[in-house]
A = this chain, B = another copy of it.
Protein backbone atom coordinates (compact mmCIF):
# COMPACT_ATOMS: atom_id res chain seq x y z
CA UNK A 1 0.00 0.00 0.00
CA UNK A 2 2.88 2.38 0.81
CA UNK A 3 4.29 4.17 -2.27
CA UNK A 4 7.62 3.15 -3.81
CA UNK A 5 9.14 6.46 -2.75
CA UNK A 6 8.07 5.99 0.88
CA UNK A 7 9.49 2.46 0.83
CA UNK A 8 12.87 3.85 -0.22
CA UNK A 9 12.99 6.05 2.85
CA UNK A 10 15.25 4.72 5.59
CA UNK A 11 14.28 5.50 9.19
CA UNK A 12 16.52 8.04 10.87
CA UNK A 13 18.90 6.62 13.50
CA UNK A 14 18.42 9.76 15.55
CA UNK A 15 14.66 9.29 15.66
CA UNK A 16 15.02 5.61 16.42
CA UNK A 17 16.97 6.38 19.61
CA UNK A 18 14.86 9.44 20.47
CA UNK A 19 13.08 7.76 23.35
CA UNK A 20 16.39 6.69 24.88
CA UNK A 21 17.93 10.16 24.49
CA UNK A 22 14.94 11.81 26.16
CA UNK A 23 15.57 10.01 29.45
CA UNK A 24 16.60 12.54 32.10
CA UNK A 25 20.01 11.02 32.92
CA UNK A 26 21.07 10.61 29.29
CA UNK A 27 23.86 12.84 27.97
CA UNK A 28 23.32 13.32 24.27
CA UNK A 29 26.04 14.01 21.72
CA UNK A 30 23.63 12.53 19.16
CA UNK A 31 21.32 15.32 18.00
CA UNK A 32 22.13 18.54 16.20
CA UNK A 33 20.51 20.75 18.82
CA UNK A 34 21.76 24.20 19.76
CA UNK A 35 22.09 25.15 23.43
CA UNK A 36 18.69 26.51 24.53
CA UNK A 37 20.32 28.41 27.40
CA UNK A 38 21.97 30.59 24.72
CA UNK A 39 18.73 31.48 22.88
CA UNK A 40 18.38 35.28 22.59
CA UNK A 41 15.38 35.33 24.94
CA UNK A 42 15.52 39.10 25.58
CA UNK A 43 15.20 39.85 21.89
CA UNK A 44 12.77 36.95 21.28
CA UNK A 45 10.66 38.15 24.20
CA UNK A 46 10.36 41.65 22.75
CA UNK A 47 9.77 40.26 19.25
CA UNK A 48 7.03 38.01 20.63
CA UNK A 49 5.36 40.85 22.49
CA UNK A 50 5.29 42.85 19.24
CA UNK A 51 3.38 39.94 17.68
CA UNK A 52 0.65 40.05 20.32
CA UNK A 53 -1.43 42.70 18.55
CA UNK A 54 -0.11 42.19 15.01
CA UNK A 55 -3.38 41.07 13.45
CA UNK A 56 -1.93 40.98 9.91
CA UNK A 57 0.69 38.42 10.94
CA UNK A 58 -2.06 35.91 11.80
CA UNK A 59 -3.81 36.05 8.41
CA UNK A 60 -2.89 33.87 5.40
CA UNK A 61 0.29 35.07 3.73
CA UNK A 62 1.84 34.77 0.28
CA UNK A 63 3.64 31.55 -0.66
CA UNK A 64 7.02 33.19 -1.31
CA UNK A 65 7.15 34.53 2.24
CA UNK A 66 6.97 37.83 4.12
CA UNK A 67 8.40 40.50 1.82
CA UNK A 68 10.41 42.52 4.42
CA UNK A 69 12.04 39.29 5.65
CA UNK A 70 12.90 38.32 2.08
CA UNK A 71 14.38 41.80 1.62
CA UNK A 72 16.46 41.35 4.78
CA UNK A 73 17.81 38.06 3.43
CA UNK A 74 18.57 39.57 0.00
CA UNK A 75 20.50 42.37 1.63
CA UNK A 76 22.29 40.02 4.03
CA UNK A 77 23.55 37.86 1.16
CA UNK A 78 24.10 40.78 -1.27
CA UNK A 79 21.70 39.20 -3.77
CA UNK A 80 21.63 40.58 -7.28
CA UNK A 81 18.41 41.46 -9.09
CA UNK A 82 18.65 38.12 -10.87
CA UNK A 83 18.06 36.21 -7.65
CA UNK A 84 15.06 35.82 -5.38
CA UNK A 85 14.33 34.31 -1.96
CA UNK A 86 11.74 31.69 -1.07
CA UNK A 87 10.95 31.27 2.63
CA UNK A 88 10.58 27.62 3.63
CA UNK A 89 9.67 25.56 6.70
CA UNK A 90 13.31 25.13 7.68
CA UNK A 91 15.96 24.62 5.02
CA UNK A 92 14.98 20.95 5.11
CA UNK A 93 11.84 21.92 3.18
CA UNK A 94 13.91 23.93 0.69
CA UNK A 95 15.88 20.80 -0.10
CA UNK A 96 12.72 18.72 -0.43
CA UNK A 97 11.15 21.32 -2.76
CA UNK A 98 14.23 21.33 -4.99
CA UNK A 99 14.23 17.53 -5.19
CA UNK A 100 10.51 17.42 -6.05
CA UNK A 101 10.81 20.21 -8.62
CA UNK A 102 13.88 18.90 -10.43
CA UNK A 103 14.25 15.15 -9.91
CA UNK A 104 12.49 12.33 -11.69
CA UNK A 105 12.89 8.81 -10.29
CA UNK A 106 16.28 7.46 -11.40
CA UNK A 107 17.87 10.90 -11.88
CA UNK A 108 21.37 11.19 -10.52
CA UNK A 109 22.39 13.32 -7.55
CA UNK A 110 25.94 13.77 -6.36
CA UNK A 111 26.48 14.06 -2.59
CA UNK A 112 29.52 14.16 -0.36
CA UNK A 113 30.31 11.06 1.64
CA UNK A 114 29.57 11.03 4.52
CA UNK A 115 26.52 13.27 4.16
CA UNK A 116 23.72 14.95 6.08
CA UNK A 117 21.10 12.35 6.99
CA UNK A 118 18.15 14.61 6.14
CA UNK A 119 19.51 15.17 2.64
CA UNK A 120 19.89 11.45 2.04
CA UNK A 121 16.26 11.01 3.13
CA UNK A 122 15.08 13.69 0.70
CA UNK A 123 16.93 12.07 -2.19
CA UNK A 124 15.67 8.59 -1.23
CA UNK A 125 12.14 9.98 -1.24
CA UNK A 126 12.79 11.46 -4.69
CA UNK A 127 13.90 7.97 -5.81
CA UNK A 128 17.16 9.49 -7.04
CA UNK A 129 20.28 7.55 -7.86
CA UNK A 130 22.81 8.78 -5.31
CA UNK A 131 26.48 9.03 -6.39
CA UNK A 132 29.01 9.66 -3.63
CA UNK A 133 32.13 11.79 -3.62
CA UNK A 134 34.36 11.12 -0.61
CA UNK A 135 35.39 13.98 1.62
CA UNK A 136 39.07 14.74 1.88
CA UNK A 137 41.15 17.03 4.05
CA UNK A 138 40.66 19.79 1.50
CA UNK A 139 36.89 19.26 1.28
CA UNK A 140 36.63 17.20 -1.88
CA UNK A 141 38.97 16.02 -4.61
CA UNK A 142 38.10 18.41 -7.47
CA UNK A 143 39.67 16.19 -10.14
CA UNK A 144 37.38 13.39 -9.01
CA UNK A 145 34.45 15.83 -9.00
CA UNK A 146 35.13 16.71 -12.66
CA UNK A 147 35.37 13.01 -13.52
CA UNK A 148 32.12 12.07 -11.70
CA UNK A 149 30.21 14.95 -13.30
CA UNK A 150 31.51 13.96 -16.71
CA UNK A 151 30.62 10.31 -16.17
CA UNK A 152 27.21 10.60 -14.48
CA UNK A 153 25.93 14.04 -15.54
CA UNK A 154 24.17 14.50 -12.19
CA UNK A 155 21.32 17.00 -12.15
CA UNK A 156 22.20 18.20 -8.69
CA UNK A 157 25.29 18.30 -6.49
CA UNK A 158 24.40 18.62 -2.80
CA UNK A 159 27.21 19.94 -0.60
CA UNK A 160 27.79 21.49 2.82
CA UNK A 161 31.02 23.45 2.24
CA UNK A 162 31.03 25.14 5.66
CA UNK A 163 31.53 23.10 8.83
CA UNK A 164 30.04 19.97 7.37
CA UNK A 165 27.45 17.78 9.02
CA UNK A 166 28.70 15.22 10.12
CA UNK A 167 32.43 15.85 9.59
CA UNK A 168 32.86 19.53 10.52
CA UNK A 169 35.20 19.96 7.52
CA UNK A 170 35.34 23.05 5.34
CA UNK A 171 36.27 23.72 1.73
CA UNK A 172 39.29 26.03 1.41
CA UNK A 173 39.11 29.05 -0.93
CA UNK A 174 40.94 27.23 -3.73
CA UNK A 175 38.49 24.30 -3.66
CA UNK A 176 35.56 26.73 -3.87
CA UNK A 177 37.02 28.41 -6.95
CA UNK A 178 37.72 25.08 -8.62
CA UNK A 179 34.27 23.64 -7.89
CA UNK A 180 32.61 26.77 -9.30
CA UNK A 181 34.77 26.50 -12.41
CA UNK A 182 33.96 22.81 -12.93
CA UNK A 183 30.23 23.42 -12.46
CA UNK A 184 30.26 26.30 -14.96
CA UNK A 185 31.17 23.77 -17.67
CA UNK A 186 28.38 21.34 -16.73
CA UNK A 187 24.61 21.13 -16.43
CA UNK A 188 24.91 20.10 -12.79
CA UNK A 189 23.38 22.54 -10.34
CA UNK A 190 24.98 23.05 -6.96
CA UNK A 191 22.81 22.99 -3.82
CA UNK A 192 24.96 24.75 -1.24
CA UNK A 193 23.53 24.01 2.20
CA UNK A 194 24.98 26.59 4.58
CA UNK A 195 23.19 26.36 7.93
CA UNK A 196 26.48 26.43 9.86
CA UNK A 197 28.30 29.15 7.89
CA UNK A 198 27.70 31.76 10.61
CA UNK A 199 28.97 29.40 13.32
CA UNK A 200 32.56 30.27 12.42
CA UNK A 201 34.75 30.18 15.56
CA UNK A 202 38.30 30.62 14.40
CA UNK A 203 38.26 30.07 10.66
CA UNK A 204 38.86 32.76 8.06
CA UNK A 205 35.80 34.18 6.26
CA UNK A 206 35.33 32.64 2.83
CA UNK A 207 32.90 33.40 0.01
CA UNK A 208 29.97 31.03 -0.49
CA UNK A 209 30.57 28.63 -3.38
CA UNK A 210 27.35 29.67 -5.12
CA UNK A 211 28.56 33.31 -5.12
CA UNK A 212 31.38 32.11 -7.39
CA UNK A 213 29.10 30.04 -9.67
CA UNK A 214 28.01 31.44 -13.02
CA UNK A 215 25.14 29.04 -13.82
CA UNK A 216 21.89 28.34 -11.94
CA UNK A 217 22.33 27.10 -8.38
CA UNK A 218 20.62 26.99 -4.99
CA UNK A 219 21.87 28.54 -1.76
CA UNK A 220 20.13 27.22 1.39
CA UNK A 221 20.24 28.58 4.87
CA UNK A 222 18.01 29.09 7.90
CA UNK A 223 17.57 30.95 11.15
CA UNK A 224 17.71 27.68 13.14
CA UNK A 225 21.27 28.20 14.28
CA UNK A 226 21.37 32.02 14.44
CA UNK A 227 17.92 32.73 15.96
CA UNK A 228 16.20 29.50 17.09
CA UNK A 229 15.31 26.21 15.38
CA UNK A 230 11.74 25.75 16.71
CA UNK A 231 10.43 28.54 14.49
CA UNK A 232 11.27 26.42 11.40
CA UNK A 233 12.15 29.36 9.15
CA UNK A 234 14.66 28.62 6.42
CA UNK A 235 15.12 29.82 2.86
CA UNK A 236 16.53 29.20 -0.57
CA UNK A 237 18.15 31.83 -2.79
CA UNK A 238 18.11 31.09 -6.53
CA UNK A 239 17.55 32.58 -9.98
CA UNK A 240 14.12 33.94 -10.90
CA UNK A 241 13.08 31.04 -13.15
CA UNK A 242 13.93 28.42 -10.53
CA UNK A 243 12.21 30.55 -7.90
CA UNK A 244 9.01 30.47 -9.92
CA UNK A 245 9.17 26.69 -10.31
CA UNK A 246 9.87 26.10 -6.60
CA UNK A 247 7.15 28.54 -5.57
CA UNK A 248 4.49 26.58 -7.43
CA UNK A 249 5.45 23.35 -5.67
CA UNK A 250 5.71 25.18 -2.33
CA UNK A 251 2.13 26.37 -2.67
CA UNK A 252 0.80 22.85 -3.24
CA UNK A 253 2.89 21.61 -0.30
CA UNK A 254 1.74 23.86 2.56
CA UNK A 255 0.46 27.16 1.03
CA UNK A 256 3.12 29.07 2.97
CA UNK A 257 5.31 28.82 6.07
CA UNK A 258 4.03 30.19 9.39
CA UNK A 259 3.58 33.95 9.01
CA UNK A 260 3.82 34.90 12.72
CA UNK A 261 7.14 33.02 12.82
CA UNK A 262 8.45 34.94 9.79
CA UNK A 263 7.39 38.18 11.48
CA UNK A 264 8.98 37.04 14.76
CA UNK A 265 12.32 36.36 13.05
CA UNK A 266 12.14 39.79 11.38
CA UNK A 267 11.22 41.47 14.70
CA UNK A 268 14.20 39.74 16.31
CA UNK A 269 16.67 40.67 13.57
CA UNK A 270 15.46 44.29 13.64
CA UNK A 271 16.73 44.85 17.20
CA UNK A 272 20.18 46.42 17.45
CA UNK A 273 21.17 44.23 20.41
CA UNK A 274 20.84 41.09 18.30
CA UNK A 275 24.24 41.92 16.78
CA UNK A 276 25.78 40.72 20.07
CA UNK A 277 24.11 37.32 19.83
CA UNK A 278 26.26 35.64 17.18
CA UNK A 279 29.59 36.65 18.79
CA UNK A 280 28.24 35.29 22.10
CA UNK A 281 27.20 31.89 20.77
CA UNK A 282 30.40 31.60 18.73
CA UNK A 283 32.49 32.08 21.88
CA UNK A 284 30.35 29.66 23.89
CA UNK A 285 30.36 26.95 21.21
CA UNK A 286 34.10 27.31 20.63
CA UNK A 287 34.57 26.67 24.37
CA UNK A 288 32.37 23.60 24.23
CA UNK A 289 34.22 22.31 21.19
CA UNK A 290 37.52 22.72 23.03
CA UNK A 291 36.06 21.00 26.08
CA UNK A 292 35.03 17.97 24.01
CA UNK A 293 38.35 17.89 22.15
CA UNK A 294 40.33 18.04 25.41
CA UNK A 295 38.15 15.46 27.15
CA UNK A 296 38.53 13.03 24.24
CA UNK A 297 42.30 13.55 24.07
CA UNK A 298 42.72 13.21 27.82
CA UNK A 299 40.48 10.14 28.09
CA UNK A 300 41.04 8.24 24.85
CA UNK A 301 44.60 9.34 23.98
CA UNK A 302 45.65 7.77 20.68
CA UNK A 303 42.55 5.56 20.53
CA UNK A 304 40.71 8.37 18.72
CA UNK A 305 41.53 10.45 15.64
CA UNK A 306 39.77 13.63 14.56
CA UNK A 307 40.34 16.99 12.92
CA UNK A 308 39.33 19.94 15.10
CA UNK A 309 36.68 21.87 13.14
CA UNK A 310 36.90 25.68 13.03
CA UNK A 311 33.11 26.00 13.27
CA UNK A 312 29.76 24.24 13.24
CA UNK A 313 28.33 21.80 15.75
CA UNK A 314 30.02 18.46 15.21
CA UNK A 315 33.18 16.50 15.75
CA UNK A 316 33.77 13.45 13.50
CA UNK A 317 35.69 10.93 15.55
CA UNK A 318 37.39 7.75 14.32
CA UNK A 319 37.77 5.18 17.10
CA UNK A 320 40.68 2.73 17.01
CA UNK A 321 39.61 -0.90 16.58
CA UNK A 322 35.96 -0.20 17.15
CA UNK A 323 32.55 -0.94 15.64
CA UNK A 324 30.73 2.30 16.41
CA UNK A 325 27.31 0.67 16.03
CA UNK A 326 28.20 -1.48 19.03
CA UNK A 327 29.81 1.52 20.73
CA UNK A 328 26.61 3.57 20.26
CA UNK A 329 24.48 0.79 21.73
CA UNK A 330 26.77 0.30 24.72
CA UNK A 331 26.89 4.08 25.06
CA UNK A 332 23.12 4.22 25.55
CA UNK A 333 23.48 1.64 28.34
CA UNK A 334 26.14 3.86 29.96
CA UNK A 335 23.95 6.96 29.56
CA UNK A 336 25.57 8.66 26.55
CA UNK A 337 24.24 8.92 22.98
CA UNK A 338 26.28 9.28 19.77
CA UNK A 339 25.47 8.65 16.10
CA UNK A 340 27.50 5.86 14.46
CA UNK A 341 29.22 6.77 11.17
CA UNK A 342 27.24 4.29 9.06
CA UNK A 343 24.11 6.40 9.59
CA UNK A 344 25.62 9.04 7.27
CA UNK A 345 26.14 6.68 4.35
CA UNK A 346 23.21 5.69 2.08
CA UNK A 347 24.17 2.02 2.03
CA UNK A 348 25.44 1.88 5.63
CA UNK A 349 28.65 0.30 4.32
CA UNK A 350 31.25 2.84 5.32
CA UNK A 351 32.52 4.67 8.39
CA UNK A 352 32.05 1.65 10.65
CA UNK A 353 34.76 2.97 12.99
CA UNK A 354 33.57 6.61 13.01
CA UNK A 355 30.91 8.52 14.92
CA UNK A 356 29.46 12.03 15.01
CA UNK A 357 29.60 13.87 18.32
CA UNK A 358 27.62 17.08 18.76
CA UNK A 359 29.28 19.57 21.11
CA UNK A 360 26.73 22.44 21.20
CA UNK A 361 23.88 20.91 23.20
CA UNK A 362 25.44 19.35 26.31
CA UNK A 363 26.73 21.53 29.15
CA UNK A 364 30.47 21.69 29.84
CA UNK A 365 30.04 19.33 32.81
CA UNK A 366 27.95 16.93 30.73
CA UNK A 367 30.64 16.90 28.05
CA UNK A 368 33.24 15.72 30.57
CA UNK A 369 30.92 13.14 32.12
CA UNK A 370 29.66 12.03 28.70
CA UNK A 371 33.18 11.34 27.45
CA UNK A 372 33.94 9.31 30.57
CA UNK A 373 30.79 7.25 29.97
CA UNK A 374 31.75 6.84 26.31
CA UNK A 375 35.15 5.54 27.33
CA UNK A 376 33.55 2.87 29.51
CA UNK A 377 31.36 1.89 26.57
CA UNK A 378 34.43 1.85 24.31
CA UNK A 379 36.36 -0.46 26.62
CA UNK A 380 33.41 -2.84 26.68
CA UNK A 381 33.00 -2.87 22.89
CA UNK A 382 36.53 -2.87 21.42
CA UNK A 383 37.04 -5.44 18.72
Docked-complex contact A6 and B101, CB < 8 angstroms: yes
Q: Is A348 an interface residue (CB 8 A)?
A: no
Binary interface profile of A, 209-249, with partner B (CB < 8 Å = 1, else 0)?
A: 00000000000000010001111110000000000010011
What is the CB-to-nearest-CB distance from A55 to chain B, in angstroms, rounded to a whole number? 5
CB neighbours (8 Å) of A264 from chain B are 260
Q: Is A294 an interface residue (CB 8 A)?
A: no
The interface size of chain A toward B, counting residues with CB under 8 Å, comes to 75
CB neighbours (8 Å) of A255 from chain B are 90, 92, 118, 232
Docked-complex contact A260 and B230, CB < 8 angstroms: yes
Binary interface profile of A, 309-343, with partner B (CB < 8 Å = 1, else 0)?
A: 00000000000000000000000000000000000
Interface residues of A in 31-50 (CB under 8 A from B): 31-34, 36-37, 39, 41, 44-45, 48-49
Binary interface profile of A, 53-97, with partner B (CB < 8 Å = 1, else 0)?
A: 101111111110000000000000000000000001110110010
Which chain B residue has the least Cβ–Cβ distance from A51?
A: B48
Q: Is A179 an interface residue (CB 8 A)?
A: no
Which chain B residue has the least Cβ–Cβ distance from A123?
A: B252
Choice from B51, B92, B104 contacting A3 with Cβ under 8 Å: B104
Docked-complex contact B45 and A53, CB < 8 angstroms: yes
Choice from B41, B60, B93 contacting A33 with Cβ under 8 Å: B60
Q: How far is the CA of A118 from the CA of B34 in the complex (A)?
A: 36
CB neighbours (8 Å) of A49 from chain B are 48-49, 52
CB neighbours (8 Å) of A15 from chain B are 63, 251
CB neighbours (8 Å) of A256 from chain B are 232
Number of copies: 2
Docked-complex contact A102 and B261, CB < 8 angstroms: no
Q: How far is the CA of A107 from the CA of B5 in the complex (A)?
A: 13
Docked-complex contact B36 and A44, CB < 8 angstroms: no
CB contact under 8 A between A96 and B254, given known A6-B245, A245-B6, A261-B260: yes
Q: Is A113 an interface residue (CB 8 A)?
A: no
CB neighbours (8 Å) of A291 from chain B are none
Docked-complex contact A58 and B33, CB < 8 angstroms: no
Q: How far is the CA of A57 from the CA of B93 in the complex (A)?
A: 20
Which chain B residue has the least Cβ–Cβ distance from A34?
A: B59
CB neighbours (8 Å) of A248 from chain B are 6, 9, 11
Q: Is A183 an interface residue (CB 8 A)?
A: no
Q: Is A2 an interface residue (CB 8 A)?
A: yes
Choice from B39, B88, B100 contacting A58 with Cβ under 8 Å: B39
Choice from B2, B229, B233, B252 contacting A9 with Cβ under 8 Å: B252
Q: Is A258 an interface residue (CB 8 A)?
A: yes
Docked-complex contact A102 and B51, CB < 8 angstroms: no
Choice from B52, B102, B124 contacting A1 with Cβ under 8 Å: B102
CB neighbours (8 Å) of A89 from chain B are 89, 254, 257-258
A-B contact pairs, 28 of them (CB 8 A): A2-B102, A3-B102, A3-B103, A3-B104, A3-B107, A6-B249, A33-B59, A39-B55, A39-B58, A41-B53, A41-B55, A58-B228, A58-B230, A60-B229, A60-B230, A61-B230, A88-B254, A89-B258, A92-B254, A118-B255, A121-B252, A124-B252, A230-B258, A231-B258, A232-B259, A254-B254, A258-B258, A260-B261
Q: Which 3 A-B pairs have the closest CB atoms?
A: A230-B259, A58-B228, A121-B252
